[in-house]
Structure 1
């Protein structure tokens, strides 16, 4: 077997994170039953989700190594809670400053103080805070006092004021992933960047971390205080161009580069020996986690070995990854890998065809509709109702048995069923908007801190809102005119940034290339 490791399209990694991992492991021993953590924002815990799942979802951490021996997948290990941070008293403020009174926000103060989140003395006609800070006092009742134009209200300044936002400039922050524990991808050393507020380590990460996955799960994002940019409201119908999966492989407009053969060349013994670890090590577990199955790790290799054409392509990809040793070839390799990921993902389809249908294989029966769902989600097309993953079945209660596995399976089936419902809903009936919102609400309630669900849910948000917003283009900077967490632009902005971040820093090659194809699809649909 060749001794040179293949150079996969890079998963970004940072050396400081390895030190942080070792500190975390040595200073914080595992706990048996930690409380479920929430998405952090600036170190503050989030509120609970608005749409609870049928079962309380356990909280997991992403794993990126081998499948655990007990058969659990998708990183189903309990997460460790962030220890509570003691609050500093007024006399413990750093720098020896004088005691400062912490003012609480009121609901009856002027609009300016409420925007700044400080206590208002409710003076008339102008409160004392606005007089001291030389701000315009916007009054006490926005219903009766209409302003002549949108005011750019900034939060209370801390230190040097930030420069004014430039709507035409590209975004300067890369969204953090909302998964707090750094994880390494096998063979590449890639790590997750810890979310904001993580107490471990002192090194500053090279990216800012401010967004959580869903605006409804977080507070106001300080980066959304930008100049007004008028966007039209979301339209009733999606107006996008239909695309095919084959078009999504040409990332950055670079098609996959490989030898197209009518008759596959028989592989040498060395090439065959390289294919097995290449598939199992880099793609089998990633595909299992994407579709929440075990088919790819338990049966995928045998099917791959029986498909000469697919095996030839995998061998070519492995050889290109192994012989590429510079960053100049990274973009062509990404396109090559996008096609590779999808060809491997579709192996169950040909397996079912060769067997004259899925037959009595329950894993294959469950997996096939999920592949159809992801394909239509990525291409922007509609899923046929007959291909929607089946709804979950309420498991019978079994006394003296652990109910957690049944609850996890119920939520898994519910997620895929509602994702299929979402992809199948067309715009030509009156209840479309309600049905879409209902499906998205269920999805949001059972994300369960699983990376694949976070990614698929974010792609669904971008499909729903971005396809109905004429001004949206994935290569333009989204500027929000409000910090309202329920604003459509804010939701689209967070989802778009999250998918872009996972395109670069996902835990597996599969997640990265799925996000790459989603971004490629958004660009093509807007042409």
Structure 2
């Protein structure tokens, strides 16, 4: 798996990623707790909402070809890289072509990229939000796929099921929701010993283990003191599985910001820079996670998907405190 190309504050990121040897401090009063939000609330990046849904129009073949080229070159690979799947590049194109509204959105976004005053902050902000909404609707294509074939049992497409479950985990993570059960928990089938796996299988297992740890984190309620150590241990486990993958750095940092940020009355507006060398300090973890995600959103992300997803995350911090 390709390592992340980001070199921003690598030493600091290692610091935020370091497992804590003690439990995170207990939550402050419940009035500080961030509220749960909807994904639709997070698409107005920097507070600038995307344009309303594009009207349905008959698209010329040249525009259809252009949409498919953009999807296959930019968004499908970016989403697959983020969710660590193959479904979007290999199987999602028919779902896109069948979605009239999303095709209209793609056409409108392509036109928006050609606007002459794109450097105007208001215009660029609106385009970023527009792109975020298109990316989110594209990610959700996995949910609109008909898993059933008549009266036959649901099609067990491993890539599709992985995409659906990881999307569920990501959405819960970024909206502040807790899950009753971990959709990515390993099956009861005994897995072979790691040493007997090929290298690709080992890498795949580490990917699955990382996502499983994030899914399990979302079943733990961090307003319960009895869960504090289990949460810290779970996040430490996720940290050990980052493997320099950009998407995992992002997801792990979201979890850190979610878990520790709600304990800070000033988050996200005024988080003082702590002593970065103190790897046990929750404030250091929060500071670096926040800065990392903000920089990813501002252009450091290596794909448009990462940039816009991080923009949604940054937006969530403000919306959840309103």
Range class of TM-score, shorter chain: 0.7 to 0.9
1:254 aligned onto 2:196 = no
CA distance in 1, matches of 2:116, 2:207: 39
SS at match of 1:212: helix
1:448 aligned onto 2:243 = yes
Q: 1:493 aligns with which of 277, 284, 287?
A: 287
Change (3 A) 1:342 1:259: closer
2:51 touches 2:130 (CA, 8 Å); kept in 1? yes
CA distance in 2, matches of 1:389, 1:324: 45
Change (3 A) 1:330 1:300: same
Corresponding residue for residue 463 of structure 1:
258
Q: Report matched runs for 1:469-488 at 5 Å.
A: 469=264, 471-480=265-274, 483-488=277-282
SS at match of 2:284: helix
Corresponding residue for residue 437 of structure 1:
232
Corresponding residue for residue 292 of structure 1:
84
Corresponding residue for residue 361 of structure 1:
157
Change (3 A) 1:358 1:448: farther
1:511 aligned onto 2:306 = yes
CA distance in 2, matches of 1:248, 1:514: 9
Q: Report matched runs for 1:276-291 at 5 Å.
A: 276-291=68-83
Q: CA deviation at 1:257?
A: 1.2
375-384 vs 322-331, which deviates more? 322-331
Change (3 A) 1:355 1:243: farther
Corresponding residue for residue 228 of structure 1:
none
Q: CA deviation at 1:431?
A: 3.1
Q: CA deviation at 1:351?
A: 0.7
Q: Report matched runs for 1:22-421 at 5 Å.
A: 60-62=2-4, 179=5, 192=6, 194=7, 211-215=12-16, 217=18, 234-235=26-27, 239-261=33-55, 264-324=56-116, 326-328=118-120, 329-352=123-146, 359-385=155-181, 388-391=183-186, 395-396=191-192, 403-421=198-216
What's the Cα RMSD here?
2.8
Cα offsets for 1:80-120 (capped at 9, x unmatched): xxxxxxxxxxxxxxxxxxxxxxxxxxxxxxxxxxxxxxxxx
Larger CA Rg, structure 1 vs 2: 1
Structure 2 segments unaligned to the other structure (5+ residues): 20-24
1:424 aligned onto 2:216 = no
Q: Is the helix fraction higher in 1 or 2?
A: 2
Change (3 A) 1:448 1:269: same
Q: CA deviation at 1:484?
A: 2.0
245-254 vs 433-442, which deviates more? 433-442
Change (3 A) 1:411 1:352: farther
Cα offsets for 1:310-355 (capped at 9, x unmatched): 1111111122113355311211111101111110111000014676
Work out the number of aligned pairs and report it. 310
Change (3 A) 1:210 1:389: closer
Structure 1 segments unaligned to the other structure (5+ residues): 1-58, 63-178, 180-191, 197-208, 219-232
Normalising to structure 1: TM-score of the pair? 0.54
CA distance in 2, matches of 1:292, 1:211: 25
Change (3 A) 1:430 1:466: closer
CA distance in 2, matches of 1:384, 1:355: 29
Change (3 A) 1:257 1:195: closer
Change (3 A) 1:378 1:352: farther
Corresponding residue for residue 22 of structure 2:
none
Q: CA deviation at 1:510?
A: 0.4
Change (3 A) 1:256 1:354: farther
Normalising to structure 2: TM-score of the pair? 0.87
Change (3 A) 1:324 1:461: farther
Change (3 A) 1:432 1:326: same
